[in-house]
A and B are shown apart, each in its own frame.
Chain A
Amino acid sequence: MDMFLNIFVAAVLAGTPLLFGTVGEIINEKVGHLNLGVEGMMSIGACAGFMAGYVTDNFIIAIIASFVAAALASLIYAVLTVTFMANQNVTGLTLTIFGIGLSNFIGIYMLGKSETGTLKLPENITAQMRDIHIPMLSDIPIIGKMFFSYNPFVYMGIIIAIAMGFYLYKTRLGLNLRAIGENPAAADAAGIKVTKLKYINLIIGGGICGIGGAYCSMIINGGVWISNNVGGLGWIAVALVIFASWKPVNAIWGSFIFGALRVLKYYIPKTVFPFPNAFYDMLPFLITAIVLVITSIKQSKENNIPESCGINYFREER
């Protein structure tokens, strides 16, 4: 029981950065843009969030900074792919390389200016992002630990995922957005402002990825700056979009399952299952492949990739 509880908590913590990345990427893909720059946007968000927190010592400002910075990075992508019709894959990959580079560059610059040779978040902000404690609720045995004692990012991630699920599937704007992703020409003919909506949603999606990045730099690394702090999580988020079948709410349990798969190797005793660690490292991707196979056999339009995802919309061509 204890082991299960520990795995559950560790899985949620490991899944949270993936959750942000996945939800952000879902919004991007739903509007028809396969953005491979998740890793880069997360890196930029990680850097902006951390540095803002470092300088201002304020958690809220740090979150806003990470969102805004990553949204700006996403704006670059939007300008290139929506307005200039650049190849989405190439642009996304470039954004990844750029994002990681910029984040490390700023990190190194700030390190050079620090006296101690290390960048550590000040006390106040560390206290603000510590695990929450709700009187009564957090004290319930087991349940309290399972649901009511995480850091604020975890709850923020779940709320954002649910809100985005609502936005996509229950609002008119979301319907328009999904229409663009399926068939932008038809959406255009129906009077939907394709370009404007693409811009808005690409920016929102990018911003959400950025908060995931802030989680990496501020929580995972315990408030000390390290270069390359996103460490490939953005790529896992891209794979996770498939696993979640393009639904933000699915992304919640999807990312926690992926989180569990990533931490299993530290919790399953080697005496019980003598598998090498490499086996566990492989699991998330193996499962994504299986999901991909299953969904392609089922052929349900509902759970499939948006029809025009990855294709730029050129109005004169319709």
Chain B
Amino acid sequence: MKKFLGITLALVMALSAFTGCSSSSSTNEANDNNTTVETEGGSEGVMPAIAKEDIKIGVIHISNPAEGSGYTYTHDQGIVAMQKEIGLDDSQIIRKNDVADDDPTAIETAMLECIEEGCNVIFATSWGYMDTCELLAEEYPDVIFSHGTGYKSNGKNFNNYFGRIYQSRYLTGIAAGLKTETDKIGYVAAWGKDNSEVTGGANAFAMGVNAVNPDAKVYVKTTNSWFDPEGEKQAADALIAEGCDVIGQHCDTPNPQLAAEAAGVYGVGYNSDMSKDAPKAVLTSTIWNWGAYYTYAVQSIIDGKWTGENYFGGIHEGLVDLAPLADFCAEGTVEKIEEEKARIESGEWDVFTGPIETNTGEVIDAEGKGLDDATITGGINWYFKNIVEK
């Protein structure tokens, strides 16, 4: 019996060790190398048009959209916006919530249920759904599969969509750089240098800071998890203890903003407008308007212009944006952000245009051609010069 107990305890330990790190292996958003083609306007469609009344959309969510701030909420807001814009009936949209993205059977079941119920378009919003989409796209050539935050496509009934969120981060960096008084800005990142999406975001934020305040440093702490409520709060607390007075974040919970509010400093939220969680702290938030893509995609299906190519929208397409600025932002913030936003929107300049100096002294894109999309999504593994890894 003693032996049995020993085994049980060992199991418990193994389990607790597992829960301790398991979250670190789940990857919710894109971090892989890819080639993306931007799709603008009216090229020839590859799928027959579907009349507005006949369209039926299945949405696969990783958690529950009722969740106030996070990833799924913003996606679902996009679906709602699309529904309003195009004028679809409630019965034309089916949602499957809480579909774990590391469980292929569950994903397949959820999608097959949608098809069973007559869906001819499926939006899969999380990274892990990609391979199932690819397989089912072959099996059901009449159904359009559109997968978020990945990179694959078959040029026909399966594509991926993602956004240039770094453009918005650059702009929020301006608000942070103008606000800071200690010239120390904190940044709670989900992953370290090996994750190009997170690192690129941190760099864009830091470049925004640098554009208005060359003396400021950006302190980055990583939690090694997309979702770690306690870790995210602790990281923010540690940054504040080191003297940071603006806290940016690339992680899922509003905890860094709440920590900032409790300490009487400021912050920049992410995913959705976090000022509803921490109204006294949030200067602005980096936000997704997934509705821009969903509306575009569904409209192109109705018009028979669906191309099956990958989509990589930015500020210009309205896919990414920043939340309304708080009235306690530093003076001149609005003007400066407007100016930079116009520059990005016009397309004459993008954030990752060199020469960019890294914090190890290297120079990226010395010729100033601008990084290509494949590098932006998969190849940013360096920190900008004013970033201090903590």
Instruction: Say whether, besides A266-B235, A278-B24, A118 and B258 are in contact (CB < 8 Å).
Output: no
A101: min CB distance to chain B, Å? 10
A224 to chain B: which residues have CB within 8 Å?
Answer: 68, 254, 258, 277
Q: How far is the CA of A263 from the CA of B230 in the complex (A)?
A: 10
B17 to chain A: which residues have CB within 8 Å?
Answer: 239, 282, 285
A176: min CB distance to chain B, Å? 22
Q: Are B16 and A232 in contact (CB under 8 A)?
A: yes
In the complex, B366 has a CB within 8 A of chain A: no
A137: min CB distance to chain B, Å? 22
A253: min CB distance to chain B, Å? 19
- Number of residues in A with C-beta < 8 Å to the partner? 57
Q: Which residue of A lies closest to B14 (CB)?
A: A285
B363: min CB distance to chain A, Å? 23
- Number of residues in B with C-beta < 8 Å to the partner? 52
Q: Are B224 and A281 in contact (CB under 8 A)?
A: yes
Q: Please provide the chain B residues from 284 to 322 with a CB less than 8 Å away from any CB of chain A in the complex.
A: none
Q: Which residue of A lies closest to B188 (CB)?
A: A266
Per-residue 0/1 for A209-252: is the Cβ within 8 Å of any B Cβ (1 yes, 0 no)? 00000001000111111111101110110110010000000000
Q: Are B68 and A220 in contact (CB under 8 A)?
A: no
In the complex, A171 has a CB within 8 A of chain B: no
Instruction: Say whether, besides A220-B229, A227-B63, A228-B227, A118 and B8 are in contact (CB < 8 Å).
Output: no
Other-chain contact of A281, B20, B64, B390 (Cβ < 8 Å):
B20
Q: Are B20 and A309 in contact (CB under 8 A)?
A: no
Instruction: Say whether, besides A221-B229, A278-B21, A278-B224, A227 and B15 are in contact (CB < 8 Å).
Output: no
Other-chain contact of A216, B16, B230, B259 (Cβ < 8 Å):
B230
B237 to chain A: which residues have CB within 8 Å?
Answer: 10, 13, 266
Instruction: Say whether, besides A221-B229, A288-B13, A235 and B224 are in contact (CB < 8 Å).
Output: no
Q: How far is the CA of A216 from the CA of B255 in the complex (A)?
A: 12
In the complex, B1 has a CB within 8 A of chain A: yes
A260: min CB distance to chain B, Å? 11
Q: Which residue of B lies closest to A276 (CB)?
A: B192
Q: Please provide the chain B residues from 2 to 61 with a CB less than 8 Å away from any CB of chain A in the complex.
A: 4-5, 8-9, 12-13, 15-17, 19-24
Q: Are B20 and A118 in contact (CB under 8 A)?
A: no
Instruction: Say whether, besides A36-B12, A221-B253, A222-B259, A229 and B5 are in contact (CB < 8 Å).
Output: no
Q: Which residues of A contact B (CB under 8 A)?
A: 6, 10, 13-14, 17, 34, 36, 39, 89, 104, 108, 111-112, 116-120, 216, 220-229, 231-233, 235-236, 238-239, 242, 262-263, 266-267, 269-270, 276-278, 281-282, 284-285, 288-289, 292, 305, 309-311
A315: min CB distance to chain B, Å? 18
B145: min CB distance to chain A, Å? 27
A17 to chain B: which residues have CB within 8 Å?
Answer: 230
A98: min CB distance to chain B, Å? 16
Q: Which residue of B lies closest to A227 (CB)?
A: B67
B212: min CB distance to chain A, Å? 27
In the complex, B261 has a CB within 8 A of chain A: yes
Give 15 CB contacts A-B under 8 Å: A10-B237, A10-B238, A220-B230, A221-B255, A222-B233, A222-B255, A226-B67, A226-B253, A231-B230, A262-B230, A269-B390, A276-B192, A281-B21, A282-B21, A285-B17
A6 to chain B: which residues have CB within 8 Å?
Answer: 238, 241
Q: How far is the CA of A101 from the CA of B8 in the complex (A)?
A: 24
B16 to chain A: which residues have CB within 8 Å?
Answer: 232, 235-236, 238-239, 285
Q: How far is the CA of A288 from the CA of B223 in the complex (A)?
A: 22
Most buried by B among A17, A224, A289, A311: A224
Most buried by A among B227, B229, B255: B229
B255 to chain A: which residues have CB within 8 Å?
Answer: 220-222, 226
A104 to chain B: which residues have CB within 8 Å?
Answer: 64
A227 to chain B: which residues have CB within 8 Å?
Answer: 63-64, 67
Most buried by A among B23, B68, B228, B390: B68
B68 to chain A: which residues have CB within 8 Å?
Answer: 111, 116-119, 224-225
A229 to chain B: which residues have CB within 8 Å?
Answer: 229
Q: Which residue of A lies closest to B260 (CB)?
A: A222
Q: How far is the CA of A266 from the CA of B244 in the complex (A)?
A: 14
Q: How far is the CA of A119 from the CA of B68 in the complex (A)?
A: 8
Q: Which residue of B lies closest to A274 (CB)?
A: B389
Q: How far is the CA of A111 from the CA of B67 in the complex (A)?
A: 7
Given A117-B66, A310-B4; 17 other pairs, CB 8 A cutoff? A6-B238, A6-B241, A14-B234, A34-B8, A117-B73, A220-B229, A221-B233, A221-B258, A222-B262, A223-B258, A231-B23, A231-B230, A235-B15, A235-B16, A235-B19, A270-B390, A288-B13
